[in-house]
């Protein structure tokens, strides 16, 4: 997941060139189609550097052994440019994929409110959101989805199953469910899709005045959820906080800074960014900060914006990092959306920890290396209690 800038203003600009006179008409048509996608151009039809592009485009469009649409070729051209960076975090999203990516970062989507995963050949419901169509239809965690719309999903990828379940708001989808806990009872349930807002923050009070705060992704509304959860935990008497970032793939850079501001005193550095010219910018806490000891849980799937938060809490508060080495993604992306619904996500810089370290490809090293989810939580609990007794961070 990217450390995505919440304000995405950088345009995707293509400087188009020319061909010989014989292919100028085709070149102009290409530009018209690309402009229809919403791609802004600084056009010069007398630049020979683009001759190869236009010749390849026209040959494939007009002479390939089977018909290829202009959209297919242009999607491929943009995808090819993204691939040419050899950067796994620079990606072209076709419209459906762009929508899914946007939904993840926005923390909402139109569907039934169930999270699914693959277990062998089965598509298993991992969790059901409260108040969702899935819960109202009686679906539970560990149920197996056998069919969607009457079609068996055996052998389908997880993405294909998800896309079949998702759809326009107000439409209905019939899902065939098998429940292993009830002798593999199987039945059909028809659910009405609606917008579901994903809860990204989970909190609870644990023993000995330890507050637990789990953050699953850094979406558009995560900072406000964190602020509310911290307020609730303090009212319940929390004297230390466990921040669980395990499995968090990241999200918005600005939201990570806002979340860190709830823990770090105003004006203190949270993260540094560096552009292609080497210019650095330090993003600081907006406050109010938190005068309680903090312990961070992380694992190999803690990435990007989640790593920014973990590093900031460690560098500023001295928060122990419990678990395993984090993912190691130290770059920042912007996203340009096109009018046809597609989008280009591309790397615009890198981020550094407050102490100036670039963790890309290396990850954050735990201060307390612990394997196993239960053992990690037990260690975090023990450290949180120990920090309470020590009377500080």
Residues acting as catalytic residues: 304, 315, 329
Q: In angstroms, rounded to a whole number, what is the distance separating the alpha carbons of residues 167 and 91?
A: 24
DSSP per residue over 221-289, as a string?
THHHHHHHHHHHHHHTT-SEEEEE-TT---EEHHHHHHHHHTTS-TT-EEEEEE-TT--EEEEE--S--
Residue length, the chain? 393
Element (H, E) at 171: none
Single out the residue of 301, 299, 321 nearest to residue 310, CA to CA: 321
* For residue 43, cis peptide bond before it (omega within 30 degrees of 0): no
Report whether 86 contacts 116 (CB < 8 A). Answer: no
The helix/strand/coil state of 132 is coil
Phi-psi region of 184 (alpha: psi -120 to 50; beta: other; left: phi over 0): left
Q: In angstroms, rounded to a whole number, what is the distance separating the alpha carbons of residues 61 and 39?
A: 20
């Amino acid at each position: 997941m990217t450390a995505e800038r919440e304000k995405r203003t950088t345009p995707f600009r293509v400087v188009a060139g020319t061909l010989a006179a014989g292919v100028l008409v085709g070149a102009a048509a290409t530009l018209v189609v690309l402009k229809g996608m919403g791609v802004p151009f600084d056009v010069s039809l007398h630049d020979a550097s683009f001759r190869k592009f236009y010749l390849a485009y026209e040959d494939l469009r007009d002479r390939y052994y089977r018909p290829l649409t202009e959209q297919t070729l242009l999607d491929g051209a943009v995808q090819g440019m993204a691939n040419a960076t050899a950067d796994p975090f620079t990606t072209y999203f076709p419209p459906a994929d762009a929508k899914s990516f946007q939904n993840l970062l926005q923390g909402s989507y139109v569907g039934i409110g169930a999270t699914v995963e693959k277990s062998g050949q089965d598509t298993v419901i991992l969790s059901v959101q409260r108040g969702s169509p899935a819960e109202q239809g009686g679906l539970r965690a560990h149920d197996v989805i056998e069919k969607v719309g009457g079609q068996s999903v055996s052998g389908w990828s997880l993405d294909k199953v998800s896309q079949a379940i998702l759809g326009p708001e107000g439409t209905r989808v019939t899902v065939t469910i098998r429940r292993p806990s009830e002798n593999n009872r199987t039945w059909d349930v028809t659910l009405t899709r609606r917008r579901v807002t994903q809860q990204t923050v989970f909190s609870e009070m644990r023993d000995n005045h330890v507050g637990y705060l789990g953050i699953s992704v850094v979406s558009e509304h995560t900072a406000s959820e964190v602020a509310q959860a911290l307020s609730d935990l303090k009212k319940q008497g929390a004297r230390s906080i466990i921040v669980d970032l395990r499995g968090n793939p990241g999200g918005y850079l600005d939201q990570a800074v806002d979340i860190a501001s709830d823990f770090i005193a105003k004006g203190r550095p949270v993260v540094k960014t560096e552009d292609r010219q080497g210019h650095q910018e330090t993003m600081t806490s907006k406050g109010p900060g938190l005068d309680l000891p903090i312990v961070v849980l992380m694992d190999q799937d803690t990435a990007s914006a989640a790593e920014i938060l973990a590093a900031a809490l460690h560098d500023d508060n001295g928060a122990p990092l419990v678990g395993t080495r984090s993912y190691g993604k130290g770059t920042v992306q912007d996203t340009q959306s096109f009018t046809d619904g597609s989008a280009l996500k591309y790397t615009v810089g890198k981020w550094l920890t407050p102490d100036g370290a670039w963790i890309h490809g290396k990850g954050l090293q735990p201060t307390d290396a612990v394997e196993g989810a239960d053992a990690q939580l037990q260690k975090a609990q023990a450290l949180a209690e120990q920090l309470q007794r020590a009377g500080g961070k």
